[in-house]
Amino acid sequence: MGKRIVVVGGTGHIGRMLVERLLHRAQAVVVASPSTGVDAASGVGLTEALSGADVVIDVSNSPRVDGDTALEFFTRTTRRLLEAERTAGVQHHLALSIVGADAVVEDGYFAAKHAQEQVIADSGMPSTILRSTQFFEFARSIAEWNTVADTIHLPATTVRPVAAGDVADALAALALEEPAGVLELAGPESMHLGSFVGRVLLSDHDPRYVVEDEGARANGFNIDAARLAPLEIDLTGTTALADWIASMHHALRAERS
């Protein structure tokens, strides 16, 4: 008999892929998002959505990534979720976080995710926290944050980016297992941050230059860029960057045909 699984943020980028994978595994899935009448941040519709649930997966994200907004969103939403889960008798809280969330920082998005993790740890709920490295799609945001004129200066930092689909696969598998504490997921390949961004931009036919600069500090991260790769890898994605790029372009061609 399948589990009843509530996916908070189930209409987002990761959420949609996750719901599809869970349904293929014959699980009963409730999609919880404001567009389906469930607002975890305010609590609207939450009691009804969690009724009879075995597992809650939180892949919701803050509407903005600035530190104060993200901190308020993640702590308020997570506390409300955990309280409702305890009342509903949920057996497993599964949350998506980011590699580097445990870094010692005082503000910014990474600090907000760390605060979310701390709320979960302090709650005593059986839980799994999956920390992921940067999604392949994130290369474009890194480029935007670090562009000056037509050049992008990035440090020679090693990263292990991962396909969003591999993250969804990992979450779907973990939802059917016992709570496992904190796990870290990375992609199958190590590469320099500049190479990662440059390869994605090249595939987009983006004319900007990516320059590897030992003295550069990457904008968009309020932690040392060296913390963007996990110290210990528990789970490894299977999709290589080249394969993701090929599949992305195949999907675009299919949309246009």
Give the pLDDT mean for 214-230: 81
pLDDT in tens, 11-46: 999 999 999 999 998 789 999 999 999 999 899 999
Q: Return the domain boundaries, the chain.
A: 4-256
> What's the confidence (pLDDT) of residue 1?
61
Residue 7 pLDDT > 90: yes
Task: Quote the pTM value.
Answer: 0.94
Asked whether residue 223 carries a pLDDT value surpassing 90, the answer given is: no
3-state secondary structure at position 198: helix
Q: What is the pLDDT of residues 65-86, one digit of tens each?
A: 777 889 999 999 999 999 999 9
**Beta carbons of 218 and 157 less than 8 angstroms apart:** yes
What fold, for 4-256?
A: Rossmann fold (3.40.50)
Q: Specify the pLDDT at position 140.
A: 94
Q: Average pLDDT, whole number, for the chain? A: 92
Beta bridge partners, 159, equal 191
Q: Which residues, including other chains, have CB under 8 Å from residue 228's CB and lie 6 or more apart?
A: 99, 100, 133, 134, 157, 159, 193, 221
